[in-house]
Amino acid sequence: MEYIKGAHLHWNYNPYTRKVSIAYRATQISGGWIAWAINPTGTGMVGSQALVAFHNANGSMTVYSTSITSYNPSMQPSDLSFQVSNISAQYSNTDMMTIFAVIGPLEENVTIVNQVWQAGTSVSSNIPQIHPTSPPNLQSMGKLNFLST
């Protein structure tokens, strides 16, 4: 199965605090955006709780959380159904965006989640625009077990 180019998730789960430190990176042009999400209510895009990053109008990186409530989401910053802290983003090597964050605490006994990841090539007025609907984009979801290696 083909995925979004250069997309990788690195994580460290602490079972005592039920928090997950993540670093999600993907190949991306400077005018594009990347996102990684957990969907606590199902699979796929709708219902996902996302972290999104892009270059804003002044050229610095912007990163925030947003809830994806429809197939035409606002992509405006919003709180998620779980806590997010230490959120930041960077752009390096002229083609790699990375989101860093600490998620949680997760609910008791939740170590397997539905994840979604995405990338788009356009940001307008500091709002990420629709992503391509090619197979790699539509297939960018799956289960993630924080206890696996």
Q: How far apart are CA 33 and CA 53, in angstroms?
A: 6
Per-residue confidence (pLDDT) for residue 140, from 0 to 100? 79
Query: Which of 39, 23, 50 minimizes the C-alpha distance to 128?
Result: 50
Question: Any idea what DSSP says for residue 102?
Answer: E
pLDDT in tens, 56-100: 888 899 999 999 998 888 889 999 999 999 999 999 878 899 999
Q: What is the pLDDT of residue 136?
A: 66
At 138 the pLDDT is 66
**What is residue 2's predicted lDDT score, i.e. its pLDDT?**
40
108: pLDDT strictly greater than 80: yes
Predicted TM-score (pTM) of the model is 0.90
For 26, how many CA atoms within 13 A lie in the half-sphere containing its CB? 24
Q: CA distances (Å), 74 to each of 17, 29, 130, in order?
A: 32, 22, 10
- Domains, the chain, in order of start with CATH, read 8-137 (2.60.40.1210)
CB–CB of 68/48 below 8 Å? yes
